[in-house]
Amino acid sequence: MQKALLFASVVASFPLLAKTPNNIGIYDDTYFIGSYTNNINEQAYDASEYEELSDLMSAEAKFQFSVSVPLVRLGGMNALMGSYTQKSLWQVGNTEMSSPFRETNYKPQVFMMHQGNYPLFNSIEYGYRHESNGRGGDISRSWERFYLLLEKLGGPLEYGIEGWYASSLSDNPDIEDYIAPYSLWMAVNGPTGTIKVKGSFNYDTHRGGVELGYSYPLNPFVNLYAQLWNGYGETLIDYNHHQTRVGLGLMLHAGIFR
């Protein structure tokens, strides 16, 4: 808990900016929610060396933090960037199991970012990302991706489309049967808050996942945040596991930097 409070105080000491090639910014949604899933993924741990994770609670905390930083500024709104995103599922109320973090996904990226007035979009990214859960044995999950992301950021309507090529799938060779090689997102910003939807669907296997979020500003720094997830691939351990999750908590508010 002390580490979490220290991290929050450090974050609050910086201007909270949306991702930009000219400054440190929040790269992806950064939030902490209490949540409930209708289908906790116990079977992933039953046959593994992590037998202590075979009696899980359906109620758990879910949080994500994400930050980007320019590594080499190239003039104007162009830069070689680095980012780090971490998503965790925490059995905080499961005191009989010592409240373990049952899954954490680590996602560092190196990429080029260009922001400007392009047709339909104002931000372009392309680069490399690694994502893994840092585990071994039967519950190790990881993949490498080269990606292209086109986005329209700022204003009442925001959206993005991303495609990628995946490699190094030995831990989960069938992951693309459940998570299609693209994702879409759209957000509507209004006086009563922001509604955001993102997800993907594999038309060959008829599998996919979608996340719906609603955020309402409480002050210049923090939003009330509600989230609904349905489908496959919420985290790497759940890439082939279907569930519905609902959650409520807080999200850091990222202002637009222009």
Distance CA 196, CA 183 (A): 13
Query: 3-state DSSP call for residue 97?
Result: helix
Report whether 256 contacts 194 (CB < 8 A): no
Distance CA 124, CA 129 (A): 15
Report whether 16 contacts 252 (CB < 8 A): yes
Residue type at 188 in one-letter notation: V
Report whether 146 contacts 128 (CB < 8 A): yes
Residue type at 243 in one-letter notation: Q
User: Residue for token digits 């893994």?
Assistant: 132
Query: Residues with catalytic annotation?
Result: 130, 132
Biggest distance spanned by C-alpha atoms of the chain? 55
